[in-house]
Amino acid sequence: MTAMGHDDHTLPPSSLALRIKAIETLMVEKGKIDPGAVTEIVDIFQNKLGPRIGARVVARAWSDSAFKKRLLADGTGALKEMGIGGLQGEAMHILENTSAVHNVIVCTLCSCYPWTVLGLPPSWYKSAAYRSRIVIEPRAVLAEFGLQISEDCEVRVYDSNAEIRYMVLPERPTGTDGWTEEQLEALVTRDSMIGVSVLTDVVVG
């Protein structure tokens, strides 16, 4: 089975993906765009700009208990408070990770993903291996990401669809008492909001 950290090639690219790739190739060949620039732009949306929106939401929830309560009760409404709206009007559900429950998200039928808060989906999220195995053997898949979940912690897998998107609210790392929202935001990763990683506690002193 393909490791989760690598691309899965069992499914052919969609017609839209093929068209986009063809346009990109043509633009590069004609010298209209620099291939390095394309890679950098994708990296910005996949790992920097997109996930930072979700990180800002997480930091607010960690810092404001009233907002956190609203976020968990009505994700869509709480996000709108921050000026964040669903691209397709989908309902957003926020899943809180605790010491007793670890949540992870997937879309088994396609690749539905909370673009609004996490930006572009990683390639492995769309792979057939991840979409099938995370439901059947979540602990084994999480272990391939380097995440060992203790046996006394329940693992819950949430399946997104065209109408509903999920985002994980990771546990706040210890050692961050008194931190500003900006400091907390810098700790949050995309993978922690998908549920395939946890955040490292901060060593004080």
For 21-49, b where at least 16 C-beta lie within 10 A, e where not — what string? eeeeeeeeeeeeeeeeeeeeeeeeebeee
Question: Which is the catalytic residue, given 107, 160, 192, 197?
Answer: 107
Q: Is 123 a catalytic residue?
A: no
For this structure, is 111 an active site residue?
Answer: yes
- Confirm if 166 and 193 have CB atoms less than 8 A apart: no
∠ CA 187-93-172, rounded to 5°: 25
65: annotated active-site residue: no
Question: Which pairs from 136-143 meet CB under 8 Å and 24+ separation?
Answer: 138/104, 141/4, 141/196, 142/102, 142/104, 142/196
- Options 112, 160, 192, 197, the catalytic residue: 112
Residue 157 CB burial class (10 angstroms; 0-12, 13-18, ≥19): middle
Given 15, 65, 99, 110, the catalytic residue: 110
Q: Is 110 a catalytic residue?
A: yes
Q: Out of 63, 111, 123, 132, which one is annotated catalytic? A: 111
Positions annotated as catalytic residues are 107, 110-112
